[in-house]
């Protein structure tokens, strides 16, 4: 099994980090989380970067760290929810490898995110109703970018089998 460079995109809560770990085992390579790498490199949380430096600076840092992967031969990378929407990142990822959009339903995203709001500064103070609206609005805003992915897996398609099939197509 061997797609060499795999990028997972989608909304927060869609399972990118979960699937990155699984896929990394399957392809016997590193599995990385872009947000974690940004936090390690900057020695600040994503929330602190947004607050202290603003979104524009965060997006520049995000693009810079994403492009570190140009030199790596084989990996799977969970991107941040907004990563494909800035700095020509989607075009860069598609040039480098394959991009898989984990298109989870709004209901599932809300259910997952309600439980972890405290760890997510963008949604920490939102009620469940406001969270639903936030997710729907973000999906509309990001659809044009996410839809450029090489593959789109909707809720019931996000399975071991489906992901393994995609990866095998690129062996």
State in words which class domain 5-164 has. alpha beta
Q: Are 157 and 101 in contact (CB under 8 A)?
A: no
Token pair, residue 143, equals 């659809």
Number of residues assigned to the chain: 171
Q: What is the pTM of this model?
A: 0.95
Average pLDDT, integer, range 138-163: 97
pLDDT tens digits, one per residue of 105-116: 999 999 999 988
pLDDT tens digits, one per residue of 13-52: 999 999 999 999 999 999 999 999 999 999 999 888 988 9
Q: Are 171 and 2 in contact (CB under 8 A)?
A: yes
Q: Is the pLDDT of residue 2 over 50?
A: no
Residues sharing a CB contact under 8 Å with residue 150, sequence separation 6 or more, in sequence order: 94, 98, 99, 100
pLDDT tens digits, one per residue of 61-119: 999 999 999 999 999 999 999 999 999 999 999 999 999 999 999 999 999 999 888 77
Phi then psi dihedrals of residue 21, to 5 deg: -60, -45
């Amino acid at each position: 099994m061997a797609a060499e460079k795999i990028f997972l995109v989608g909304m927060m809560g869609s399972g990118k980090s979960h699937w990155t770990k699984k896929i990394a085992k399957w392809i016997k390579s590193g599995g990385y989380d872009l947000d974690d790498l940004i936090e390690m490199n900057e020695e600040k949380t994503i929330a602190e970067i947004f607050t202290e430096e603003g979104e524009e600076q965060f997006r520049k840092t995000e693009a810079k760290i994403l492009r570190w992967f140009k030199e790596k031969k084989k990996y799977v990378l969970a991107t941040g929810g907004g990563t494909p929407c800035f700095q020509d990142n989607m075009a860069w990822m598609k040039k480098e490898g394959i991009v898989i959009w984990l298109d989870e339903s709004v209901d599932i995203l809300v259910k997952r995110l309600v439980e972890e709001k405290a760890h997510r500064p963008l949604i920490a103070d939102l009620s469940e109703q406001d969270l639903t609206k936030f997710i729907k609005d973000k999906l509309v805003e990001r659809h044009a970018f996410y839809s450029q992915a090489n593959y789109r897996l909707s809720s019931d398609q996000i399975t071991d089998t489906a992901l393994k099939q995609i990866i095998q197509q690129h062996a």
